[in-house]
Amino acid sequence: MKKTAAVLAAMCLLSACATVTRGTKQSWEVNSVPEGARVELSNGRGCAITPCGIRVPRHSDFVATFSKTGYRPTRINVTHTFASGGGWAIAGNVLLCCGLLGVAVDAVDGADFNVSPNPVVVKLERDAVVAPPPPTAPPEPLPEPRRYQRPCIKVLTDPSQSTC
């Protein structure tokens, strides 16, 4: 009798249909235009280069920041919504053993939810073009280099002609 009660208790605890069929995490698919942006989530997760998929709990709420050199950082809010398939999981919980307990487990672990929006495509905007600095006065020209002059070597036969 105790063995049967233990088996029934285990069935009741494990009867959360959405938890079993959908799991408590999902892949959040992200992309950017142009591709190659870095994505950082407020929950500490992220990816180095878009497009990518990030595993997140189904009942997550977070802010995603997209950044790429030469583009303005873009932030989006991501929340969770009740999954359309969650109704079937609730019906399965009610029809199976300890249905209300299964409903409670699915609600607590978030298996009845999906993150939204999913997938996400973010269009990044270019940074404003920085104007070049105004022209400055041209620098002073360098002085002409002095030319090397060979020394004058002359055998003086007449002392009156002492210059080369």
More confident residue, 98 or 76: 76
Full-model pTM: 0.60
Question: Which pair of tokens denotes residue 123?
Answer: 């269009």
Residue at 163 is within a domain: no
Q: What is the pLDDT of residue 47?
A: 94
Three-state secondary structure call for residue 25 = strand
C-alpha 115/C-alpha 98 separation (Å) is 28
Per the structure, the count of domains in the chain is 1
CA-wise closest residue to 23 among 100, 91, 104, 114: 114
More confident residue, 122 or 111: 122
Residue at 58 is within a domain: yes
Residue at 70 is within a domain: yes
In terms of residue numbers, what domain contains 62?
A: 24-123
C-alpha 71/C-alpha 74 separation (Å) is 9
- The average pLDDT across 57-69 equals 92
